[in-house]
Amino acid sequence: MRLHNYAMGKWIAGKGEGQPLFDASNGETVAIAGSEGLDFEEMLHYGRKVGNKNLRKMTFQQRGLMLKTLALYLLERKEKYYEVSYKTGATKVDSWIDIEGGIGNLFANASLRRKFPDLPYFVEGEPIGLSKGGTFMGHHILVPKEGVAVHINAFNFPIWGMLEKCAVNWLAGMPAIVKPATLTSYLTEVMVQDIVDSGILPEGALQLICGSAYTLLDHVHYQDVVTFTGSASTGIQLKSNPNIIQEAVPFNMEADSLNCIILAQDAAPGTPEFDLFIKEVRKEMTVKCGQKCTAIRRIIVPEAYIEEVQSQLAKSLASTVIGDPRVEGVRMGALAGKTQLAEVKDKISQLLQHSELVYGNLDQYEVTYGDLTKGAFLVPILLRNNHPFENKGSHEIEAFGPVSTLMPYQDLDEAVELSRMGKGSLCSSIVTYDNDLARDYTIQAATHHGRILVLNRESAKESTGHGSPMPLLVHGGPGRAGGGEEMGGMRGVKHYMQRCAIQGSPTTLSAITQQYQYGGKYLEDVKHPFKKYFEELEIGETLVTHKRTVTDADIVNFANVSWDHFYAHTDATSLEGTPFTQRVAHGYFVLSAAAGLFVDAAKGPVMLNYGLDECRFTKPVYAGMTIGVRLTVKEKVKQEKRPDEDFEKGIVKWLVDVYDETGETVAIATILTMVKLKG
């Protein structure tokens, strides 16, 4: 079967002989891959002119719902992907991480839409006043870049690698060209076929290259974004492309690294933490046959426990059933291919110049199911480096397979130093039940690791484990790990957007941001805003209320109702040395009184109070003072209609500006209401 590339809205088979791809367990030919004949420059041009145009005009809410719809669609077809995934050497558990973990990224980023406005662009941070009179101010906006996200992915996660990146750039409003590693690209192609057939994505949002793409980066430009996952050496080579440098193309590199796990001094043999440690190391050595960029490569343990750790790990690894992942009972499959097997064995040979082999065998071993001569099988290999400060190969050489090295330490400072000797990693873990120790390690080691997991009896039940990057957290690391960051919630989305500082009057910036900026002109109407439907409300529309004079009785009654008898509200004799000159009204009374002034009591489009975003009490309110309210439409976010609802709705954010008889603001807040759409 010849794989097809998806370019410029068409499925195109590569020309020429192509590259044969093999089943990792039995050596049978799975497909022929090739990209010869593709015009990479034209693909990029198409992505910018068609895909980018279609995505950037959609709002964050529309893009988020698109991700959710796609996730549900792919989840219904997941069994198809499992059947193909077995050919990569992955077990059912391995495939679950790749397939359902990848789809989970779509769901997670779909939910992230709630943190963004109902606009194609994003307003970031707080407004910044730039003048005394308040007529000149600044703000920041982020708009989707006008290019293409180019993703060059590794062989170990042909689905997750695509979806965890694409989910973010699609939400940001950018299309993607996906270049999976050719070795396992046949699995990526199967899913892309379904994505294209679904019709859920707009035209041009996704293109696929299943073969070589050596000249692709020669045609990217400054509006494009390139992300790479793979070996550090390949990443450096790609990042050094003259065109990448000349065009200043953002290049995010997430490279394989020498991740480590620390067994803390308190986690002695016999404790729950010791058992968790053994279980975690075994899992990270055998899941995906150790072919994970986050896998544990260095096992750092107290010198007093190293013999017991070695014994327990060997016993645990010996129970691992190895073979063809399609056979029931197999717990570790094959490496992705024979070339990968040869490379891992070569790296092990290099590591053996610095360490001794304490479990496993490179020359004579058996698998329970499968043919060693045809499959790319390897047993777990455990090495031991008794002098890790002198024998530095363990911190420099990575065997990308089921291989890890034990090394001892004397105290926490040594453990931290050993963790740093990997020169930057994606992840480090520490297993401890001592929170002070966990804090000390984290603060000292955080400079050298993109993520730190603290594992103990409390977190273990629900912990996703050492090797599991989460879509709403940063995935990346310094130094050897590439210095990049993927995913990371809103931060990840912003990677595909251009940040721009904007300056002008509050009224002008209100119009640009579609968020009312304090000090901007008010739009007043005789009709009460609570009588208006969502579509009828305008940004900047303001209700100026009647006024109310606060009395001593108000303060006393609110104290009795709320049970808030704080001395400043109830005891005039205790005010010496405080900012108050007399009993002060409760801040929440002021806010409640404000609501009494601006709320329209009759039933109307406003359905409920949805919450409070922010609130500040800026000036004391005493009995005898008179307050009024300016209620302004600050922002509007349309919500999706649920299946069990017979109405559409949106969230309206209101700026509540409470002021006194002098005109000074005494309290300012942002409240949210749920408002019906007129439909």
CA distance 676 to 604: 9
Indicate the SS3 state at residue 416. helix
CA distances 299 to 385, 404, 446, 648, Å, are: 10, 7, 18, 55
CA distance 596 to 581: 27
Give the residue among 187, 205, 186, 209 at the shortest CA–CA distance from 196: 205
Strands (E), 1-148: 4-7, 10-13, 19-22, 29-33, 122-129, 137-144
Residues in the chain: 679
| 371-352-269 Cα angle (round to 5) | 90
Residues whose CB falls within 8 Å of the CB of residue 321, separated by 6 or more in sequence, listed in order: 329, 330, 331, 332, 368, 369
Of the CA atoms within 13 Å of residue 595, those in its CB half-sphere come to 14
CA distance 413 to 370: 46
| Residue 203 amino acid letter | E
Q: Per the structure block, which two tokens stand in for 164?
A: 């965890």
Cβ-based burial of 260 (10 A; exposed 0-12, middle 13-18, buried ≥19) = buried
CA distance 190 to 10: 15
Dihedral sign from CA coordinates of 84, 85, 91, 97: negative
Q: Per the structure block, which two tokens stand in for 222?
A: 């400054």
Q: Per the structure block, which two tokens stand in for 363?
A: 């020359």
DSSP-derived secondary structure for 487-523: E-THHHHHTTEEEEEEEE-HHHHHHHHTSPPTTSPPB
Q: List the catalytic residues.
A: 254, 293
- Contact between 331 and 294 under an 8 Å Cβ cutoff? The reply is no
- Contact between 140 and 12 under an 8 Å Cβ cutoff? The reply is no
